[in-house]
Every structure is written in structure tokens, then in C-alpha cells.
Amino acid sequence: MTTTEFRQPTHLRTVEGFGTVRIDPVDPERDADLIHSWVNEDRARFWGMGGTTVEQVREIYAHLDSLTTHHGFLVRRDGEPVALFQTYEPEADRVSECYEVLPGDIGVHILIAPADTPEPGFSAKLFVALTDFAMNGRTRAVAEPDADNEKAIARLVKAGFELGPEVVLPEVDLPEVFIPAKRARLAFLTR
């Protein structure tokens, strides 16, 4: 997939010493195979989609695409897919039952793609573009990684997030989606 296949990016940011980061909405038809390959790796177990089929991934992101409060984005660096990024309105999400949502808050989830060769500083530089995008017109970002996901929590702290309390996100059981309860650690980035 090359950037020439897209018209206008949702967000485009050149990060010095890293490259050009492009953020586009997930296209469930085009991106399901790629996302499926990422979310079914053991390293992505905290993403909560392990064991899904390509069709289930397509359906999940088609549902997400139908919402006005939750959004999925495919992130590319210099044309290569490197992450899955999701933003959401916290007041329209189960996380709102666990903290006081303030005007200007935005929720974020990130799944960094597997890499053949680890690149020192990769996630820190990627976070520059992601937080620039997510915080545009916002005052605070909230993340809620699984409480056992020490790697994600450490990445958030390194990116400037302040840790909040450990909480239990309640189960969501709707006709179009089921999400089990999750023990999470809240983290906040304030501008």
C-alpha cells in the first residue's frame, strides 16, 4: 500500500529524524487482512481481538466506522503501515463510568505494528505525531491500557502521560458488540 493510493490524509506530520507520518481512517474492506494479522499475534493479546477471523475484523471496523464517537485510523510512516490508532469521545464510552470526563477530553488506543527489527526511539517519535493529531483542539487525552500491560503503560509514561488509578471498565453487551470487563490503568496527557 502506498500513500499515492489516497487523496487527502486525515493528518500528515513530518517528525524530524523519523519520517512522514500519515493518519487515515481505517477502510474495513481494504485494511481487514492487515489488521487481522496484527491483532492475532500474541504480542497484541491486550488488544482483545485474538482469535478473530478476517471477516470479524472487517465487521468490527465497519461498525466502528458507522459511529460518530469512535474512530479507527491506520498510521503509516513513509507509506508503510506502522500502527492502528483509535480515538473516541470518553463520554460515549464505558471509560466514562470510571473517571470524571471533562470538556475537551479525547480517548486513545494504540497498537504498534510488529517490526522485523526493533528501532530504538520508534514509539516515542510515533507518539509525537499521534498526540499532535489526537490533541488538536483538545485539552486532555485519556488512555486505559490493560493493567497488566506494563509495556504499554511504560510507553505512555515515556510519552508524557501521567498515571491515574487502576479501574475496572464494565462489560459492554449490546447486539452489535460485546466487550468483556477489563482491569485497566488510566493515564492522562494534558496540554
Q: What is 56-113 written as a DSSP string? A: HHHHHHHHHHH-SSEEEEEEEETTEEEEEEEEE-GGGSGGGGTS---TTEEEEEEEEP
Cell 468483556 found at: 180
**Which uninterrupted H or E stretch holds 188?**
strand 182-190
- The pLDDT of residue 3 is 37
Cell 490503568 found at: 185
> Which amino acid appears at position 185 of this protein?
R
Distance CA 72, CA 85 (A): 6
What residues does 182 pair with on adjacent strands? 169
Reported as a single tens digit per residue, the pLDDT across 128-182 is 999 999 999 999 999 999 999 999 999 999 999 999 999 999 998 777 777 889 9
- Label residues 10-25 b or e (16+ Cβ within 10 Å = b): ebebebeebbebbbbb
C-alpha cell at 177: 458488540
Q: Is a pLDDT exceeding 60 seen at residue 7?
A: no
Reported as a single tens digit per residue, the pLDDT across 48-94 is 999 999 999 999 999 999 999 999 999 999 999 999 999 999 999 99
3-state helix, strand, coil in the chain (%, to 5): 35, 35, 35
pTM of the model: 0.92
| CA-closest candidate to residue 122, choices 13, 17, 14 | 17
Distance CA 141, CA 131 (A): 8
